[in-house]
Amino acid sequence: LVRRFAPIEQLRFCNSGTEATMDALRLARAHVGRDKIVKIEGSYHGHHDAVLMSTKPPIDAAGPVSRPNSVPASKGIPSDVKNNTIIAPYNDAEALERILTEHEGEVAAVITEAVLMNVGIMLPEEGYLESVREITRRHGVLLIFDEVKTGVTVAPGGITELYPVEPDLICLAKSIGGGMPIGVFGGREEVMRHINHQEVVHLGTFNGNPMSMRAGLVTLTQIFTPEAHAHAIGLSKQLGEGYVWDIDMHLSYAYWLFLANRGILFPPGFDDQWTVSIQHTQADIDHHLHVFHQFVSELTR
């Protein structure tokens, strides 16, 4: 992982993406000495209190586009938590600048998915990530990339292989474990040393357990090779080109049932992205697109 992800000098293992982002934020607060964090509206970083804010806020509660409100996404979150979680819009560096200026000296970290995944897939506009890096550095704020979903899927080395931006901390999980529970957070040594010096607590009975470590090692070295990644990306592009970009949400469950009855299984929820794996074949993609065209034909009869 250190070889794949340039920003990682040291890392710690945990058991999920939720744990990874939770520990990374605690570490950031300790390093910077501030309490508040900034997260992106619509992003999902796990189900711990600090980040379970404004994942899908009701329109009447969301607030202005350029300065969203902090809206708890679940009951049971203490009311004062939202005071320390500030919401920023995605792809708006100027809004982030205003927020950090308004809260100068109060914010420890900005946590973001470089590619916003919880709203479908939203790519960063040209120059956005570079601006976020410059702004956070200038305000003395750590930048955390949540690569739990993007990780080794967008590229063998994640987002930082595709964009010339290095965050201070990176969070990983999901695919790097080959199906076993795993999470990772890592980054610059000067930040990670707070754990090494026992200034920040990081504990867990199953952290770095042998089964997950072995599964992760085999996944990254023998299964998810550069050649396998290129294969999956090629199939993914072909599948994406077979669909139009507008989504008729009211047809989603009928669509899911139609495909499920023809041997194509994927999560039925609105939030669940399709994921092409290295086990999929050209025949799988051809069958998927064929059934999709059947579905469209049935709708237009």
pLDDT given at position 271:
62
Per mean pLDDT, which range of 5-9, 66-70, 152-156, 186-190 is the poorest?
Answer: 152-156
- Contacts of the segment 195-200: beta carbons below 8 A, 24+ positions apart: 195/12, 195/27, 196/10, 199/30, 200/26, 200/27, 200/30
Taken in order of first residue, the domains within the chain and their CATH numbers are 10-221 (3.40.640.10), 226-299 (no CATH)
As a whole number, mean pLDDT of residues 242-264 equals 79
pLDDT given at position 188:
95
Cα 207 to Cα 155: distance, rounded to the nearest angstrom:
26
pLDDT given at position 247:
62
As a whole number, mean pLDDT of residues 168-197 equals 95
Residue 236 has pLDDT above 90, yes or no: no
Clarify whether 174 is annotated catalytic: yes
Q: Could you read off the pLDDT of 166-177 as tens digits, one per residue?
A: 999 999 999 899
Catalytic residue among 23, 36, 39, 44: 44
The pTM score is: 0.88
Residue 15 has pLDDT above 70, yes or no: yes
Q: Could you read off the pLDDT of 72-118 as tens digits, one per residue?
A: 999 999 989 999 999 999 999 999 999 999 999 999 999 999 999 88
Catalytic residue among 23, 146, 149, 168: 146
pLDDT given at position 221:
92
Q: Could you read off the pLDDT of 22-76 as tens digits, one per residue?
A: 999 999 999 999 999 999 999 999 999 999 999 999 999 999 999 999 999 999 9
Clarify whether 237 is annotated catalytic: no
pLDDT given at position 154:
85
Average pLDDT over the chain, rounded to an integer:
92
Clarify whether 60 is annotated catalytic: no
As a whole number, mean pLDDT of residues 153-173 equals 92
Residue 138 has pLDDT above 90, yes or no: yes
Among residues of the chain, what percentage have pLDDT more than 70?
95
Residue 155 has pLDDT above 70, yes or no: yes
